[in-house]
Amino acid sequence: MELRDQIMGIVDEIGNSEDKLIEILISVQKKSEHHYLSEQSLILIAELLNIPFSKVYGIASFYSMLSTKKRGKYVIQICNSTPCYLYKGKEIVNMFEDILGIKMGEVTQDGLISLEYTSCIGACDQAPAIRVNDRVYGNLDRGKIYKVITSIRRGEL
Amino acid sequence: MSVQVTINGYNVSVEEGTSILNAAKQLDIKIPTLCYHPDQIVKGNCRVCVVEVEGMRNLAAACCTPVKEGMIIRTNSKRVRDARRTVVELIMAGHNQECLTCVRNGNCELQDLCSDLNIHSVPFDNVSERLPIDDSNPSIERDMSKCIKCGRCVQVCNCIQTVGAIYNVGRSSLMHIAPAFEKPLNQVPCVYCGQCINVCPVGAIYEKNDVDKVLDVLEDKTKHVVVQIAPAVRVSLGEEFGMEPGSIITGKIVTALRMLGFDKVFDTDFAADLTIIEEGNELIDRLNNNGKLPMITSCSPGWIRYIEYFYPEFLENLSTCKSPQQMFGAIAKSYYAEKEDIDPAHMTVVSIMPCTAKKAEAVRDEMKSCGYQDVDYVLTTRELGSMIKKAGIELNELREEAFDVPLGITTGAGVIFGATGGVMEAALRTVYEVVTNEELNNINFTQVRGLEGVKESEIPVGDLKVKVAVAHGLSHARELLERLKRGEAEYHFIEIMCCPGGCIGGGGQPKPLTNEIREKRIKAIYEADLGMPLRRSHNNPAIQALYDDFLEQPLGEKSHHLLHTHYTERKKYELNV
Amino acid sequence: MAKLISELCELVHPLSVEDYTKQGGFSALEKTFKIPPEDVIKEISDSKLVGRGGAAFPSGIKMNVVAKEQNEIKYVICNADEGEPGTFKDKYLLNHVPFQIIEGMIIAGYAVGAHYGYIYIRGEYPDTHALLKRAIQELKKNQYLGNNIMDSGFNFNIELRAGTGAYVCGEETALIESIEGKGGDPRLKFPYTAVRGLWDKPTLVNNVETLANFCVVMNIGAEKYKMLGTDNSKGTKLFSVSGCVNKKGVYELEFGTSLRELIDTYCGGIEDDKAIKFVQVGGSSGGVFPAHMLDIALDYESFRKYGVGLGSGAVFVADESICIVDFLKATMKFFQHESCGKCTPCREGNRHIVKILDRISEGKGKMNDIKILLSICNAMIETALCGLGQSAPTALLTCIEYFRDEIEEHIHGYCRTGVCKFGKEGY
């Protein structure tokens, strides 16, 4: 019932017209501890907005910031657009994979951290840059990467 | 306002706003297309129809570029040919090219395109994804390795049928057409109408093929195999053999089915007549005894699945009559078996249907009231076509034979079941005469015929003005039900057919299928009706004998047991929070 | 540096109406309200301002089409879906002078007869989103949004909508689809957005920087505005510079400034005094210029001579350590990821280009591959449905033109930068 109440609350606040679908999806994902849209939540949204489930899923799957797969509590997104990728971006991918012991696209076993790529996040002047949930970290090097990961693990982020 | 344009050096005057594609048609210039479908909203996805327009920087897609005064267009310059060729090659590289074993071999729009454009090799790696074929349900299979992402199926499912079982998923090169979370069709609210099959330009969606099962049972000497053919089949099967749409070939089909080895060749029209007697009496009963109104027809299994999924609040409005296909099976395995002294356990009923949903209808749990599954196998019109070809029967040249008796004795009222409005018209012919005891002067209820989405009429029957409505295509059904829900309309009797045009436009029918072809098949249906000596179901002597010898009376105990059914609300998805 | 549109950026607190008005904010709107809408459009047209989002379409003409549509409901949309790699100038404006952008929207609304506006902000800018939300609240509170703004009798309201990870939504029809709650598939070219846009109503879509320019034009007047820039590129442009320069960031320059001047004078030259290999202007959809072409002037006409555009004004500077094939792979993977998937050439073309570049970078390429790449590029430019597919091959085409040797070297199994590691089967 918790999920139902939560989503009904969001739809009440944003509105249930079809054009609000994306705002609702963003909002529901934001409230999800693991930054994703579960099947059940998409079904509920489909019901409340009276849109076919397949369409809700289709639209959610179009946008790369929305996920229908469970992710870590912290989603580390490494920019792989040219200004970052060519500007030490490749190296920091290796560093993250090394330190976390997972590959890009995977989640740490404890479910804490996901590693993903993202297209340009507009932090090209601080290349190489990453996003951790909503925050951007730039000019990364090994030291800064350790700092970010340590503060995630300590729950300081 | 009309404008002058020049295409490949020739001038043509067309209405402003006409697409380049249609303007070219007036000069007998064919611009190749792929995603374009004349009955659909223009999508402009495939980019095969590109042409050169003077003054435009890039090539223009002819399907979605309106002409302007003075436009100079070239449809066949080197620039056009080169770009178009690469586009088609890119499509082919994403397509599983196992053409020889494809269900569409020889009748494929992509194959035709390759042939027309003279493409003999593709310079790109083949990147089609070999995902497992979805064969989760009795009606429809999907092989997405063949999908070329034209979007026709999505449009027909979402806009024409308002079912929404599938949608575009993901984006870019990962974009694919699928139900939510890539579930198989049997786990989503698909009604199995097969309209997606009819618009698919390639072989990505097709019916579940049951031909071999039928061929096997025909070999089985212990089985008495009877076959029934639906009204729509006789006006469309010819297209599988290159005949003009709307060719009426009933007699040839009968001969072919006999040659294939069926023990008896019967007609679904017989069961359609029976349906009219039962359903007509049910309507009279509901009208006289304060029954649930409006009563809505129940012949179309795609429509039944739709109402069970999307409008369960209207289930009580459905006529409890089984569809003609199922009535036929039940009567064959009871009345006919008894009459001919055949053990129904050794009888197989095969039906030839214009429909993919019929395959799923036949295996519904409710459809076993005679003690056996009413109908054992259902083949589509297309499957029958392939079965006839496989057997080496030259249908075009074949002599014409007559149906077997008694389940092959029929009326024109049974034939018109194949077109939208036909069930309504057949019912009105009977209900009027039964209620008033007068003969109708004009039995042609033309106001319920034709391709208009929702048709309404008022017919005086005795003291009562019977208000009727007819809808075909589920978006029109939805429109009608929504009006009922809002209390904006009131009817006594409604006919709804799942597929646009009715059964002649069914998901099992020959391809291509456009509204133009639907019109021709419909015309043929009414011609067939005119050609019948009897045109009222209640005048069918075989039906009269059936009641006299077996059923006793309409809506009687045996009818109730054998010919009527019930419906169940279906959940669109598993929601457990 | 000619600071016109970014003049107030470091001078005002972004959310202080008092700061903004003290520094001359809303004076453009005041001037706007004193003249009839058609005169506002005339002023914008006379200024020769063109859209700063990438397509460089004359702003006045677009306004005029929307203004002429007879429809009670019209919309103004601020396109803040800045997704072009290497571009961060809109973020800079929005973070520093959100009021100026909104002022520009009100001017546009007044000019075309629209009373409702949307700001579509990309999901990757959550802080900017939050700031804009507060900016709208502030302006409502101070009656710069709502009814009878500045006693003009003109009403205007704004709603904020967020993107959520789709570069293609920067394309105006895809953006409109997204506001309507759908996937970001671009619409067909006809009818134009200005005639049938958001919810089929006449819609004016402008980039953030263009809106900022409306304020400048109305403030200083078209005559004065036109004096800046070159013959065919009037005013100033924001450039987002990234890569191996010493001072990365956003720079406002008069059109006509040379690329070399931007890099050497404003950006303090190249890190560690390395040599420049190439500069890509316009983001990933922009063309590549090798080191010997850096004297090119940053204006529309100079770029047009080379068959490329200025695009969003992103400037990515690459030194000699960058491998051209590696660069192209990253660029084309971006487009493969960001294509909406609707039209064939873009959906399939990008994927095959990436496949071919992949094999070239592994030393498995064939000489014929370059020909195949060119045929895909041609089909994409000629037939793609929207600007994304049409411009995606630009970098590849310019690299084949200027760096063909280096690509062919890879086909022969050699990477001069040592970035590409070939397996044994490579050569």
Confidence of residue C423 (pLDDT cuts 50, 70, 90): low
Count Cβ atoms below 10 Å from residue B516 Cβ, excluding itself: 11
Asked whether residue B191 falls in the same domain as residue B218, the answer is no
* Yes or no, beta carbons of C390 and B58 under 8 Å apart: yes
Interface of B with A (CB under 8 A): 158, 163-171, 178-181, 188, 572-577
Q: Is residue A68 part of a domain?
A: no
Asked whether residue B165 falls in the same domain as residue B290, the answer is no
Asked whether residue B324 falls in the same domain as residue B461, the answer is yes
Average pLDDT, chain C: 96
Q: Is residue A125 part of a domain?
A: yes
Asked whether residue B518 falls in the same domain as residue B421, the answer is yes
Q: Is residue A36 part of a domain?
A: yes
Q: Is residue A43 part of a domain?
A: yes
Q: Is residue B116 part of a domain?
A: no
* Yes or no, beta carbons of B86 and C189 under 8 Å apart: no
Q: Is residue A69 part of a domain?
A: no
B409-441, pLDDT tens digit by residue?
Answer: 999 999 999 999 999 999 999 999 999 999 999
Residue in this structure with the two tokens 């990505």, named with its chain if needed: B204
Q: What's the rounded Cα separation, in Å, for the pair B176 and A10?
A: 30
Name beta bridge partners: B228: B266, B351
**H helices of C234-283, where?**
259-261
Of C355, C375, C382, the CB nearest to B58: C382
Is A64 within 8 Å of chain C by CB?
yes
Inter-chain Cβ pairs, chain A and chain B, closer than 8 A:
56
Asked whether residue B24 falls in the same domain as residue B133, the answer is no
Confidence of residue B577 (pLDDT cuts 50, 70, 90): confident
Contact B394, B249 (CB under 8 A): no
Q: What is the pTM of this model?
A: 0.96
Asked whether residue A30 falls in the same domain as residue A96, the answer is no
Return the CATH number at A148. Answer: 3.40.30.10
* Yes or no, beta carbons of A119 and C123 under 8 Å apart: no
Average pLDDT, chain A: 96
The structure tokens listed for C287 are 């063309």
Rounded mean pLDDT, B320-332: 98
What percentage of chain A has pLDDT greater than the value 90? 96
* Yes or no, beta carbons of B47 and C390 under 8 Å apart: no
Asked whether residue A20 falls in the same domain as residue A53, the answer is yes
C267-292, pLDDT tens digit by residue?
Answer: 999 999 899 999 999 999 999 999 99
Q: Is residue B344 part of a domain?
A: yes
Q: Which residues of C touch B121 (CB under 8 A)?
A: none
Of the residues B184, B207, B230, the one at which a domain ends:
B207
Is the predicted ipTM greater than 0.90, yes or no?
Answer: yes
B234-290, pLDDT tens digit by residue?
Answer: 999 999 999 999 999 999 999 999 999 999 999 999 999 999 999 999 999 999 999
Of the residues A13, A32, A62, the one at which a domain ends:
A62
Asked whether residue B200 falls in the same domain as residue B215, the answer is no
Q: Is residue B184 part of a domain?
A: yes
**H helices of A63-107, where?**
82-84, 90-100
Handedness of CA C273, C279, C283, C284 (dihedral sign): negative
Is C161 within 8 Å of chain A by CB?
yes
What's residue C425's pLDDT? 43
Which range marks the domain in which residue B169 is found?
Answer: 129-207
What percentage of chain B has pLDDT greater than the value 70? 100
The residue type found at A113 is I
Asked whether residue B187 falls in the same domain as residue B223, the answer is no
Asked whether residue B430 falls in the same domain as residue B289, the answer is yes
Whether residue C426 has pLDDT greater than 50: no
Which residues, 6 or more positions from C379, have their beta carbon under 8 angstroms from its beta carbon? B82, B83, B86, B87, B90, C345, C349
Asked whether residue B196 falls in the same domain as residue B238, the answer is no
Return the CATH number at B188. Answer: 3.30.70.20
Is A81 within 8 Å of chain C by CB?
yes
Confidence of residue C424 (pLDDT cuts 50, 70, 90): very low
Q: Is residue B75 part of a domain?
A: yes
Contact C235, C213 (CB under 8 A): yes
Residue in this structure with the two tokens 């710069």, named with its chain if needed: C144
Q: What's the rounded Cα separation, in Å, for the pair B451 and B466?
A: 22
The structure tokens listed for B375 are 């109908």
User: For strand B140-142 and strand C276-281, is the pairing parallel, antiparallel, or unpaired?
Assistant: unpaired
Q: Is residue A138 part of a domain?
A: yes
Q: Is residue B371 part of a domain?
A: yes
C345-389, pLDDT tens digit by residue?
Answer: 999 999 999 999 999 999 999 999 999 999 999 999 999 999 999
Asked whether residue A125 falls in the same domain as residue A56, the answer is no
Q: Is residue B486 part of a domain?
A: yes
Q: Is residue A29 part of a domain?
A: yes
Whether residue C427 has pLDDT greater than 70: no
Whether residue B470 has pLDDT greater than 80: yes
What percentage of chain C has pLDDT greater than the value 90? 97
What's residue C422's pLDDT? 83
- Residues of B annotated as catalytic (active site), given as ranges: 279, 282, 299, 319, 358, 361, 366, 503
- A110 to chain C nearest CA, in Å? 26
Asked whether residue B402 falls in the same domain as residue B312, the answer is yes
Asked whether residue A149 falls in the same domain as residue A82, the answer is yes
Asked whether residue A23 falls in the same domain as residue A54, the answer is yes
Of the residues A62, A92, A109, the one at which a domain ends:
A62
Among residues B120, B175, B124, the alpha carbon closest in space to that of B150 is found at: B175
Asked whether residue A32 falls in the same domain as residue A83, the answer is no
Return the CATH number at B11. Answer: 3.10.20.740
Whether residue A1 has pLDDT greater than 80: no
Q: Is residue A67 part of a domain?
A: no
The structure tokens listed for C251 are 């720079």
Which residues, 6 or more positions from B233, have their beta carbon under 8 angstroms from its beta carbon? B253, B352, B353, B354, B381, B384
Inter-chain Cβ pairs, chain A and chain C, closer than 8 A:
126
* Yes or no, beta carbons of C179 and A19 under 8 Å apart: yes
B83-101, pLDDT tens digit by residue?
Answer: 999 999 999 999 999 999 9
Nearest CA in chain C to A89: C330
Asked whether residue A57 falls in the same domain as residue A78, the answer is no
Interface of C with B (CB under 8 A): 166, 168, 183-185, 188-190, 336-352, 355, 368, 372, 375-376, 378-379, 381-385, 390
Of the residues B71, B91, B111, the one at which a domain ends:
B91
What percentage of chain B has pLDDT greater than the value 90? 98
Q: Is residue B508 part of a domain?
A: yes
Nearest CA in chain C to A87: C243
Whether residue C1 has pLDDT greater than 80: no
Asked whether residue B338 falls in the same domain as residue B401, the answer is yes
Among residues B537, B547, B542, the alpha carbon closest in space to that of B279 is found at: B537
Indicate the burial class of B16 (C-beta count within 10 angstroms; 0-12, 13-18, 19 or more). exposed
A12-60, pLDDT tens digit by residue?
Answer: 999 999 999 999 999 999 999 999 999 999 999 999 999 999 999 999 9
Which range marks the domain in which residue A22 is found?
Answer: 3-62
Asked whether residue A108 falls in the same domain as residue A142, the answer is yes
Q: Is residue B28 part of a domain?
A: yes
Which residues, 6 or more positions from B111, have their beta carbon under 8 angstroms from its beta carbon? B99, B104, B105
What are the C-alpha distances in Å from B203 to residues A55, B102, B111?
24, 6, 11
CA–CA–CA angle C391, C345, B175 (5° rounding): 110
Of C339, C375, C379, the CB nearest to B171: C339
Asked whether residue B525 falls in the same domain as residue B422, the answer is yes
Whether residue C257 has pLDDT greater than 70: yes
Asked whether residue A46 falls in the same domain as residue A87, the answer is no
Domain count, chain B: 3
C189-214, pLDDT tens digit by residue?
Answer: 999 999 999 999 999 999 999 999 99
Whether residue B145 has pLDDT greater than 50: yes
Which residues, 6 or more positions from C365, have their beta carbon under 8 angstroms from its beta carbon? C356, C359, C410, C411
B535-545, pLDDT tens digit by residue?
Answer: 999 999 999 99
Q: Which residues of B touch C83 (CB under 8 A)?
A: none
Asked whether residue A78 falls in the same domain as residue A45, the answer is no
* Yes or no, beta carbons of C88 and A131 under 8 Å apart: no
Domain count, chain A: 2
